[in-house]
Structure 1
Amino acid sequence: MKKITEHLDIKFDKAICYSGFRQGQSPDAGIFPTYDQIKEDLLILQGHWKYLRLYACDKQTDIILEVIEKENLDFQVMLGAYIGAEMNNFGCPWGGAFSEGQLIANKEHNINEIEKLIKLANQYPDIVFALSAGNEATVSWTDHYVPVESVIRYVNIIKKGTKQPVTFCENYVPWLDHLKKLVEAVDFISIHTYPVWEYKNIHEALEYTKQNYYSIAERYPHKPVVITEAGWATNSNGRGIDPGNVSEDLQEVYYQDLMKWTEEEEILAFYFEAFDEQWKGSPEPMEPEKHWGLFTVERKPKKVMRTQFADFV
């Protein structure tokens, strides 16, 4: 099995997924964090995490890269393009059906997003260390389904226009078979693993994450594998996650176990995520999508971070 640290000359370090939307802000509403808010976030994270993963080439990303450059912050960024549905996915339980006109508009958006990704990668070559052609767009339950052939085309366009290594971020399951052709196009494979979404309790969690990782790493020993999402929610309304399976105590256990294993094996793993995001999921306050952060939406450390961030409590 190849390690990304050896194959692509990327040094191992701590990594985290970052999105800075606060109360009343969301990409859907077009209300984005300010320069000062993002600066505040990144000063919290600096010195504790080296790598940040960003999801889209939107206004927030423009500001994040500007802050890192202007404030001379010590981060490297995996920059992602957010690609929208190019096909209907009627199997999605929360809406994967679109009009033909919307699908056509999405394809135009996707090309523009890929072009913006290339532009930012070349504008910030010392900050952006890797690129992703999309996020969770080929898994069976996605509401923004994109055919594998389109993803491969986007990967190839990005590779022609940039110097950074290129990947595609997806749940581990499609990589087992559905994305075999994509494996040869990307420079490294990026997987997501969420034991708690698959009804595993905390005692099974790390072993299940290892199974997910090694099932892909052993299947494609010629490609490095990165974990671009792994995390543990701290609240649930029962939608998809048993409320008894999530808490700050359990998040702490999973985080510590995951860090110990990935550091020992030098597996680059982006923890999901830095801060709670209240705009996500349903309007219900205990919706699990809102509660994956190591910090609350008010930027207060949860239990796992309280020792390191005692001044913020």
Structure 2
Amino acid sequence: MNQSKSASEILGNPDHQAFSFGGYRGLSRDSVPSVNQLKEGLRILSAMDIKLLRTYNTQQYAHAANLLEAIHQMKQENDGFEMYVMLGAWIDCEGAWTDYRNHEAEDLKNNQAEIDEAVRLAQKYPDIVKIIAVGNEAMVHWAEAYFVSPAIILKWVNHLQDLKKSGELAQDLWVTSSDNFASWGGGDSSYHKPELEALIKAVDYVSMHTYPYHDTHYNPHYWQVEDSDTLSEIEKVDNAMLRARDYAISQYQSTKDYIKSLGIEKEIHIGETGWASKTNELYGNEGSRASDEYKQKLYYDHIREWTNGAGLTCFYFEIFNEQWKDASNPLGSENHFGLITLKGEAKYALWDLADQGVFEGITRNGYAITKTFDGNKDALMETVVPPRSLQLSEN
């Protein structure tokens, strides 16, 4: 018989590893993957023993609805199949994506539709939808095209909490917002406002994002290395990736410290973190030199080890490459955060699973799951360069 656990049983449980999931394959989200196409991805994830997925929109595209139906059907077909979803409702400010943005007001029509569809889907699939996230990086100020004040997120969180109290939503459903660590008070004090404190009290847990990858460019001092004649090139890379792990941990800790300073006890889990394997932009060999599959694997392994050991859930971003994210630039970093390529190649982070036969007999988009670089590690390592030295960067 199919299992159905509560959010409190799933979050922080190392037996329920999590991924951010987007099943899009084309250059535009207008081409929504079908239920059967999404089942291909679910078979891969299930073979990896993944049991928790995160989505980003509810009604703008049919992806979330199709994914939930795909999981539902697979549960009907196999009593042992177990998969849960953190359903994301997209939140925009008034005039989002235009030159007339008002960050203190909201796009009520869009936001109401997103929340209403989240409620409908949670009611239709209560055995699958265990978390609703109000907004994705919807409060962080660098999301200039659409961010809103915490008061707007709080309004919708309270609405969902009221539906739980009235019995219209399951009481064991958890409600949060998924946002950058700074938005939760772990960074700039400009975010430290009464409405944020009220939001922290209102959510069931804090879903926090951390991206050391991006800060290899925006905060390079953490990433760059001192000149050394004693370390090999690969030792410099290995040490840099340990610093990346510690950088993520420090952002988690600063968020935890801020929440504690308010006298609030609240669970924190990692709603998003990841590392791109390729780019021709800021993080490439002409920039911070952060992007290759070796570094991606180290980051993935370090983050899983840390979060599992600390009793945290980590929605690692992401399982599949998605080329719509930067459709005009195939080598854009946003297209290469996945651990599996569009051609079904498992990147270095998953080579060990491929060697174990985990993906045997499974295909996606007509491709068997093989290994990048044809499994040739020497060829892979030729793409790896260490960060620049501090001395060279400052001269």
TM-score greater than 0.5 by the shorter chain: yes
> Unaligned regions of 5+ residues in structure 2, if any?
76-80, 164-168, 217-222, 224-239, 361-368, 371-395
* Percentage identity across paired residues of the two chains: 31
Larger radius of gyration: 2
CA distance in 1, matches of 2:122, 2:161: 11
**SS state at 1:226 partner:** strand
Q: 1:224 pairs with 267, 270, 287, which one? A: 267
Offset at 1:141? 0.9
Does structure 1 residue 198 correspond to structure 2 residue 190?
Answer: no
How far the C-alpha of 1:309 sits from its partner, in A, is 2.5
Out of 147, 156, 161, the residue aligned to residue 158 of structure 2 is 156
Partner of 2:204: 187
Residue 153 of structure 1 aligns to a residue in which SS? helix
Secondary structure at 1:77's aligned position in 2? strand
- After TM superposition, give the deviation of residue 243 of structure 1 in Å: 5.6
Q: How far apart in 2 are the matches of 1:7 and 1:121?
A: 13
- Matched residue, 2:35: 35
Contact kept? 1:23, 1:297, Cα under 8 Å: no
Alignment map for 1:62-211 (pairs within 5 Å): 62-72=65-75, 73-86=81-94, 97-98=99-100, 106-142=107-143, 143-161=145-163, 162-163=169-170, 164-176=173-185, 177=189, 178=191, 179-199=196-216, 200=223, 201-211=240-250
1:87: Cα distance to partner? 5.7
Count of matched residue positions in the alignment of Structure 1 and Structure 2 = 297
For 1:213, the equivalent position in structure 2 comes to 252
Preserved contact between residue 236 and residue 243 of structure 1 (Cα < 8 Å): no
Per-residue deviation, residues 65-112 of structure 1 (Å, max 9, x unmatched):
001011113101111101223266xxxxxx663478xx87x3201101
Q: Which runs of 5+ in 1 are unaligned?
A: 89-94
Give yes or no for contact 2:283–2:291 (8 Å, CA) kept in 1: no
Residue 181 (structure 1) shift: 2.9
- Residues 132-162 of structure 1, C-alpha deviation per residue, up to 9 Å, x if partnerless? 0110111111121122211110111112222
> Quick check: 1:237–1:243 contact (8 Å CA) kept in 2?
no
CA RMSD, Structure 1 to Structure 2 (Å): 2.2
Secondary structure of 2:71's counterpart equals helix
CA distance in structure 2 between the aligned counterparts of 1:167 and 1:42, rounded to whole angstroms = 24
Written as runs of structure 1 = structure 2, the 5 A alignment for 1:227-238 is 227-238=270-281
Q: C-alpha displacement at 1:282, in angstroms?
A: 5.6
Q: 19, 22, 32: which one pairs with 1:19? A: 22
In the alignment, which residue of structure 1 is the partner of 2:10?
Answer: 10
Alignment match of 2:347 (pick from 286, 295, 302): 302
